[in-house]
Amino acid sequence: MSHRAHLFSLRGAHAFREACVDERYTGGRFLKDLMAGVTVGIIAIPLAMALAIASGVAPQYGLYTAFIAGFVIALFGGSRYSISGPTAAFVVILYPIAQSYGLGGLLLATLMSGVLLVIMAVMRLGRFIEYIPESVTLGFTGGIAVVIATLQVKDFFGLSVETMPEQYWDELAVLAQQLPALDSMSTLIAAITLAVMLLWPRLKTPVPPHLPAVIIGSLLAIWFNANGAAIETIGSRFSYLLPDGSTGAGIPPFLPEFAWPWQQLNAQGEPVGLSWNMVRELLPAAFAIAMLGAIESLLCAVVLDGMTGKRHSANSELMGQGIGNIVVPFFGGITATAAIARSAANYRAGAQSPVAAMVHALVVLLALVSLAGILAYLPMPAMAALLIMVAWNMSEAPKAVHLLKTAPRSDVLVFFTCFGLTVALDMVIAITTGVLLAAVLFMREMAQMTKVTDISDNKRVVQAGLPKGWRVFKINGPLFFAAADRVFGELADLSRETRGFVLYMDGVTVLDAGGLAALNKLIDQCRKNGTEIMIADLQFQPLRALARAGLKPEPGVSSFYPSLAAALETLNTRRSAPQMV
């Protein structure tokens, strides 16, 4: 199937069927999938927990997301190597929802975003994601990275902050006030964890750096706590209810139960409920989650296509992401999408098909039910260091610096606009403003490229000369509303000084409704001034636009010719006729 066909196709379980049914799936390929899935599953366990904590919920909800959504999306998606689960990009959206609406509101927003993703897939909107400029994506991902890193300052330094303010500048003020009271032991664990993650890649081992970093950080925390320190861990911060009514520390070592998302608790400890008002309040956030999920998952798929030479189905991937985010809230899972780092690690580990992602999900499930007690010892400073590293990696700082050095000023303006709005206000506002600003600046540049040139004295084009009072103008560039008003306005002014002119339009590729309106104004002005206009060499789209508008020749005012040569021949025939003497 061609790449274009993949973009438009919508096939259930596309990647799984393509890799495991259409192609021969052997025992050797399964063994490679098994090894890759185990590798990525181990990588995903601490990340899923850390990202759930950063999103404002208990760590087990990140594990639920990784194994439920990770399995469902792999089965129904359109990219054979993608690994889905909690990602850092969602933190800036999910954290405010969790603070305002609790877990119930977060699950309901996730369910709504899943429905929106399915609608996007059915409407075949997957291909339109590619029209979001790089300056927009780099801007909001850089802003997200800054927000995530800021949220980790509290645990990195062991600060005593009960609740973080909603506004970014207020967060900075609170952290600055508390910074002198940092906990030296927590800071040391976080710093060592971060140092291990930075230095480990130099050893060039297949073990991902965050695993030894978290293990070393955990061992240090156990030692410090045994000697009288008070390093906060997952077990000390989080708890859960057992069936007998008692409380356990850390994360529950059993599978989640089915529950309606709207029956989960809100921030006040009551069921969030399902009402039109609640849906209306959560809809903007759900739309933002859906848009970001679409961008992240399809961007991940494109990156994997470049690494593997395979081709994903954009609409099938959106369908898989939508189904996954519809299913997972019923089991306590938060928003999921494809994760670029984990997906790349999956491919490098030898993955052959979506079976690797399914194995990864089962590994996370196994860790939940068998290693819950051990995971409770993970220290919060080490988790904060892990998320700071994740934030740095997702910021794509080298690409952003390259863009700032080499891109046009308009792209730099869009980048800083998206970056600043993401940090200071809201990611929805940032993406919307960035795309609109990029579109306006692009239209301005395109309008400036459209030019009208007097070629009356160009002997290579106008070989036989022109009658007195006649001129030939060549138009180059698209004639949409912004450019057409300027170009045809200039010609309308010139029409007062000429007997007639020929418009050579072979360089006009687009003529929109605004261009048609401007052309009609020019013809009206020519009619008033007694100036004749001859239009020559129209391309297909402008010609079709004129035909649909019903614009017809008007004797003595306007006429149309298939080529410039035909228009000039008609003009010179008139000049040689007796009545023109």
pLDDT of 191 reads 93
With beta carbons less than 8 A apart as the criterion, state whether 105 and 282 touch.
Answer: yes
Over residues 116-121, the mean pLDDT reads 92
Instruction: Name the band, by pLDDT with cuts 50, 70 and 90, for residue 244.
Output: confident
Q: What is the DSSP letter of 378?
A: -
- pLDDT, tens digit, for every residue of 524-533? 888 888 888 8
DSSP H or E stretch at residue 313: none
What mean pLDDT do residues 126-136 have? 74
| DSSP result, 388-435 | HHHHHHHHTHHHHHHHHHHS-HHHHHHHHHHHHHHHHT-HHHHHHHHH
Mean pLDDT for the chain overall: 84
Confidence of residue 127 (pLDDT cuts 50, 70, 90): confident
pLDDT > 50? residue 581: no
Specify the pLDDT at position 208.
80
Q: Which of 127-131, 289-293, 467-471 is predicted most confidently?
A: 289-293
Q: Express each pLDDT in 331-369 by its tens digit.
A: 999 999 988 888 888 888 888 899 999 999 999 999 998
pLDDT, average across residues 115-142: 82
pLDDT exceeds cutoff 70 at 153: yes
What pLDDT, on the 0 to 100 scale, is given for residue 575?
Answer: 61
Q: Where are the domains of the chain?
A: 26-181+252-377+392-439, 451-575
- pLDDT at residue 27, as a whole number: 86
CA distance 291 to 318: 10
Separation of alpha carbons 313 and 25, rounded Å: 20
**Pairwise pLDDT comparison (580 vs 82), residue with the higher score:** 82
Question: Quick count: other Cβ atoms within 10 Å of Cβ 265?
Answer: 14
In which band, very low, low, confident or very high, does the pLDDT at 578 lie, cut at 50, 70 and 90? low
pLDDT tens string 498-527: 888 888 888 888 888 888 888 888 888 888
Task: Output the pLDDT for position 9.
Answer: 58
> Tell me, what's the pLDDT at 115?
95
Residue 113 has pLDDT above 90, yes or no: yes
Q: How many other C-beta atoms lie within 10 A of the C-beta of residue 146?
A: 17
What is the pLDDT, as a whole number, of residue 1? 47
- Residue 322: both structure tokens together: 């939508």
pLDDT of the residue at 257: 87
End-to-end Cα, the chain, rounded Å:
66
pLDDT of residue 531: 85
Percentage of the chain modeled with pLDDT above 90: 20
Number of Cβ within 10 Å of residue 180's Cβ equals 7
Q: Which two tokens stand for residue 547?
A: 């035909």
What angle (nearest 5°) sits at the alpha carbon of residue 31, between those of residues 29 and 34?
110
67-99 confidence digits (pLDDT tens): 999 999 999 988 888 999 998 888 888 988 998
| 7: confidence class by pLDDT, cuts 50, 70, 90 | very low
- The more confidently predicted of residues 286 and 208 is 286
Which of 41-45, 324-328, 423-427, 568-572 is predicted least confidently?
423-427
| Superfamily of domain covering 451-575 | STAS domain (3.30.750.24)
CB of 161 closer than 8 Å to CB of 175: yes
Q: What is the pLDDT of residue 576?
A: 62
How many Cα atoms sit within 13 Å of 297 on the Cβ side?
Answer: 38
10 pLDDT band (50/70/90 cuts)?
Answer: low
pLDDT tens sequence across 155-200: 889 888 777 777 778 788 888 888 888 888 999 999 999 999 899 8
Q: What percent of the chain clears pLDDT 70, i.e. is strictly above it?
A: 95
pLDDT band of 464, cuts 50, 70, 90: low
pLDDT at site 235: 86
pLDDT tens digits for range 261-297: 998 888 888 888 888 999 999 998 899 899 888 888 8
**DSSP track, 66-128:** IIIIHHHHHHH-S-TT--EE--GGGHHHHHHHHHHHHHHHHHHHHHHHHHHHHHHHHTT-GGG
- Quote the pTM value: 0.75
